[in-house]
Structure 1
Amino acid sequence: MRWTDYLRLGWDQLKRRLVVTLLCVIGIAIGSSSIIVALAFGESVTQFSEQRIGFYLKTDEIQIYPGQDSSDSAENKDSRSTSGAYDISKQKIEIIRSLPNVISIAPFNRLQYFNFTADSTKKGSAELIATDLTAMKDFGFELQQGAYQDLNNAIILSYGATVNLYDERTAAIRRTQSQRISSSREEEPLIPYPLYQKTILLEFADVQTDGTLQTVSFPVRVIGILKKPEGMPDSMVRYDRTAYISLELGERIQEAMQKSRSANRFVEKSIKAKVDSVEHVRQTEEWIRKLKLNTQSNLQRQESMQQEFVIVRLVFGGIGLFILFVASISIIVAMTMSTYQRRRQIGIMKVLGSNLRQIRNMFIVESTLLGLLGGIAGIVLSYWVIWLINIVVQKFSEGSSSEELLFISFWILPVGLFFAVLTGVLSGIFPAIKASRTDALTAIKRE
């Protein structure tokens, strides 16, 4: 017999037992689609975490802090202050800049939260960070308005620092609302205030020797507004209040804070180094630590997330394999029942000269067709599942991106189809052997 004969006979038998065929195909389709969805879920979320969660996990950046030695107090070790034995000097910055694979480096010294006043009445607050303003674009900062300029009396505000500014009247209304007990009260919408190219006053209160308060202010011009982070919900944007100033202005403000009797003098001094590739981050960190500096990156967080994704994929894959196992049992039962129902046909084939191998091949081809049909149906089903998941995610997501989160790569489809066909082949071995052992004369007489 030729293979075309096997295929024709197998297809005829599947059509005769249509209900059993559909049940077997559905079982295999669910199992293979589970495997395809598991692989697609792992690959899609991994790629999304590496490319789209940029403002949370910048894995190609290294945060560098002053080092500490064993003689430092526990308070100094915990505060990451600049009083440690191994400070970040200009010489060390130049050494780090010259390291292989380091493409950019800039200080990011965190001061404290400052209040600011715009247009004499509007008030807001932001955390000041002193840095090289022209190097911000190297670290993924994108401007909605303005341009990066290294000016002493300039400031760049985050989008969150420009929203919901208040005046005295608004502050009184908010205080009144906060005193009311209302669990159903919704958060106020984000209303940005136009601050670009305006002069604002950075302010902090200084207690004088006579006990009076004096406001120390620094006039600065807003030269840029950062873009609203893509995908960040409004509930987080309103708390993302940061402002970036030049290093020279940061030093002047720090000197004023040191002279003040009430201002918070704590400054978290650090620098950021951007590496050309994630693969070089670990080696670069080892080189920087040799300069007696502390480093921190998001590599461990990324690796832990990838491990979690592997667990999720294994869970989905295990569910798919279990469903395929159950489906294989149904195929074995269906094909075994088919051997009893077709004993006369098997007996006649043996009498006419069919050997054991041909009978076994006939049943294995039939079960393989079941696996192939289930695999094709599983591919269609997996696309439907991915489509539904994307619709649900886009409907309930607070982000404005319309891009699909999950996708199925081409290489995943042959994998799902392979497991489906393999299930069919393995499930057909036992019925094929049992059919080949059927006694021809006994089967014909009983029929």
Structure 2
Amino acid sequence: MKISDEISLSARNLLRRKGRTALTLVGVVIGTCMVVLMISLGIAQTKTNEEMLQSWGDLTQVQIYGYGTMVGSDGKPLYLDDAAIANIKQIPHVAAATPYAQAYNLEGTITAGRNDRYTMEIYNLIGIDPTALEPMGFALQSGSWLTNTPASEKAAKLQILVGGSTGYEFQDSRKSPNSPKRYRWQGQTDANGKELPPFVDIDKDKMTLTIRTGEGSTEKTRSWELEVVGVLEPDGAKGYWTQSGIVLRIQDMKMLQKVYNDMTKTKTEEKSYEQVYVKVDDLKNVTDVETAIHELGFTNTYSMNQQREEMQQQVIKSQMIFGGIAAVSLFVAAINIINTMTMAIYERTREIGVMKVLGCELGSIRTMFLLESSTIGFIGGLIGVAFSLLASFVLNNLSTILAAFGQGGGLDLSGMMGGGYYYMDGGGSAAISIIPPWLMLAALVFATLVGLVAGILPANKAVRISALEAIRHD
């Protein structure tokens, strides 16, 4: 029997009992639709989780803390110093590593304007390895990156990068601390609604860094002119200082600390950096890199990937529960297909016997029944995918649809999907359901396989029927 004849007979047999075929399709449609929707909810929740985490910080970044006493595997003290950072950079998949130093131990001010009228607190200084800035994903609005040549103690200038809003960090020292005119903030307007500029134009005005010790006759000061070489692209997820801070080379920050210690006659020196940031080349390698850092002895680490994995596990658990419920629907649909095909065999027993007498191969008879069952699975899967797309559209636009009927509100699926973090409003930017093309194709193939597997038992039963008994069957 030709394959075209088998397809023709299978289609004719399915159309012979349209009502029964339609009822059998319903089970496959429901099961496919449920499976696709449950997976799509998990995909959307995972995407929403990652977008939220990315707004908090870089998912491919690992922070190492140097607080407390650390001991290596040899029992000796372990320091998060330049040598340790060099070892960390040798770890596979590490794109960059830099210490992150702030001027907490310095006293002084940053001034600008005539007679140093405008002042800024020195804690806005951040020391970073200049070679790590670009590999770690920082960008410039204008200018260039810091050079990697540190300034000497006798240098009169220090290179810096600034945030676009750094000028708003300066205060007018001639005004009382209680006067609102002492401060300027971004977005502030005058009586006519015109936005007020910052006190200091970071592109034009001269800025001076001064560190000081003592008071009165014992006061000592040392000053450097700050040379702005570039303006950072603001990115709150990478640090507030990209918006309003001042970035120095880490070598210059250490030089300032040494000068300050000499001025105060302080002999103590920090052996470990308080924080080191490590950039990983890809999200999938973050866990391996963090494990390698722990093996070096630096166990006090943190990465957004830790939270991401916890949230993913919650979503997966929820998907397994609801996916199991959907799988039951497909299992019931498979039983229904078996029942339908078994009934078809009883109705067509005489027809099967005639086909055998006429010399039809057993494989052709088996193929015909398998074609019928897999066609039911394919058509049911196709309709199920179409219904899931419709349901996904409704979920993603629920607020708009409810508003059209004079109702408000959205749909909170965060608890159901195990996230517990979001109110997912269909009218918002976060999609409740995402059905990628691969999911539609996988659902269609899976539904077809369910139909094919469900038809194996009835097909085998059909080929075992005796030809003589089948012919005598009424």
Tell me the TM-score range normalised by the shorter chain.
0.5 to 0.7
Do the aligned partners of residues 327 and 93 (structure 1) sit closer, same or farther apart at CA in structure 2, a change above 3 Å counting?
closer
SS in 2 for 1:153: strand
How far does the alpha carbon of each residue in 1:221-244 deviate from its partner, in whole angstroms, 9 at most, with x for none?
Answer: 3332211228x59xx969965432
Deviations 1:379-422 (A, max 9, x none): 44566677778888896359xxxx9x967364x55532332123
For residues 109-131 of structure 1, the C-alpha deviation after alignment (integer angstroms, 9 at most, x for no partner) is 22229865554666655532223
Q: Distance in 2 between matches of 1:381 and 1:171?
A: 64
C-alpha distance 34-255 of structure 1, shift in aligned 2 (>3 A): same
Tell me the CA shift for residue 369 of structure 1. 1.6
The separation in 1 between residues aligned to 2:335 and 2:460, in whole angstroms, is 12
User: Residues 228 and 240 of structure 1: is their aligned pair in 2 closer, same or farther, counting only changes over 3 Å?
Assistant: closer
* Alignment of 1:110 onto 2:102: yes
Partner of 2:69: 68
Name the residue aligned to 1:377.
383
What is residue 153 of structure 1 aligned with on the other side?
A: 158
Gap change, CA 1:319 and 1:382, over 3 Å in 2: same
When residues 145 and 381 of structure 1 are mapped into structure 2, their CA distance, relative to the original with a 3 A threshold, is farther
Give the match for residue 404 of structure 2.
none
Deviation digits for residues 163-188 of structure 1 (CA, Å, limit 9, x no counterpart): 6766559974599xxxxxxxxxxxxx
Shift of 1:12: 1.6
Residues 367 and 105 of structure 1: CA distance in aligned 2, closer, same or farther (over 3 Å): closer
Letter matched to residue 418 of structure 1: V
Alignment partners' CA distance in 2, 1:338 and 1:418: 20
Give the one of 228, 237, 251 matched to 2:234.
Answer: 228
**Residue 393 and residue 57 in structure 1: after superposition, are their counterparts in 2 closer, same or farther (change >3 A)?**
farther
Give unpaired runs (5+ residues) of structure 1.
71-83, 176-189
1:244-393 superposed matches below 5 A: 244-246=247-249, 247-253=251-257, 255-256=259-260, 268-272=273-277, 278=285, 281=289, 285=293, 288-289=296-297, 294=298, 298=302, 302=305, 305-306=308-309, 308-313=311-316, 315-330=318-333, 332-333=335-336, 336=339, 345-346=347-348, 348-349=350-351, 352=354, 364-380=370-386
**1:406 & 1:348 partners in 2: Cα distance?**
50
Distance 1:90 1:132 in 2: 11
Task: Tell me whether 1-10 or 160-169 shows the greater mean CA deviation.
Answer: 160-169
Name which of 375, 392, 396 aligns with 2:428. 396
TM-score between both structures, scaled by the size of structure 1: 0.62
Structure 2 unaligned segments of length 5 or more: list them.
152-156, 183-194, 398-423
The one-letter amino acid paired with 1:208 is E
Q: Tell me what 1:422 maps to.
A: 449
Of residues 53, 57, 68 in structure 1, which corresponds to 2:59?
A: 57
Q: Are the counterparts in 2 of residues 344 and 443 from structure 1 also a CA contact under 8 Å? A: no
Q: Does residue 1:138 correspond to 2:135, yes or no? A: yes
Question: In structure 1, what is the Cα distance between the partners aligned to 2:70 and 2:309?
Answer: 34
Q: Kindly provide the CA deviation profile for residues 48-85 of structure 1, in whole angstroms up to 9, marking residues without a partner as x.
A: 799x67942334x6747488367xxxxxxxxxxxxx95
Counterpart in the other structure of 2:126: 129
- Aligned ranges for residues 203-222 of structure 1 at < 5 Å? 208=215, 219-222=225-228
Indicate the RMSD between aligned Cα atoms, in angstroms: 5.8
Report the count of equivalent residues: 399
Residue of structure 1 equivalent to 2:436: 408
The structure-2 alpha-carbon separation of the partners of 1:13 and 1:171, relative to structure 1 and needing over 3 Å to count, comes to: farther
| d(CA) in 1 for partners of 2:44, 2:11 | 38
Residue type of the alignment partner of 1:56: D
Which has the higher mean CA deviation after the structures are superposed, 192-201 or 98-107? 98-107
Pairwise CA distance, 1:27: 0.7
Paired position in structure 2 for 1:200: 207
| Distance of aligned partners of 1:197 and 1:296 in 2 relative to their CA distance in 1, 3 Å threshold | farther
Distance verdict in 2 for CA 1:57–1:254, change over 3 Å: farther
CA contact (8 A) 1:44 1:407 kept: no
Equivalent residue in structure 1 for 2:12, among 9, 12, 16? 9
Shift in alpha-carbon separation, 1:139–1:220, aligned structure 2, 3 A: same
How big is the shift at 1:373?
1.7
Q: Cα distance 1:273–1:365, how it changes in 2: closer, same or farther (>3 A)?
A: closer
Aligned twin of 1:178:
none
The CA deviation at 1:21 is 5.3
Change (3 A) 1:443 1:200: farther
- The 1:171/1:13 distance shift into structure 2, 3 A limit, reads farther
The answer on whether the counterparts of 1:105 and 1:271 sit within 8 Å (CA) in structure 2 is: yes
Per-residue deviation, 1:309 = 2.2
Change (3 A) 1:135 1:196: farther
The CA distance in 1 between the partners of 2:241 and 2:83, in whole Å, is: 39
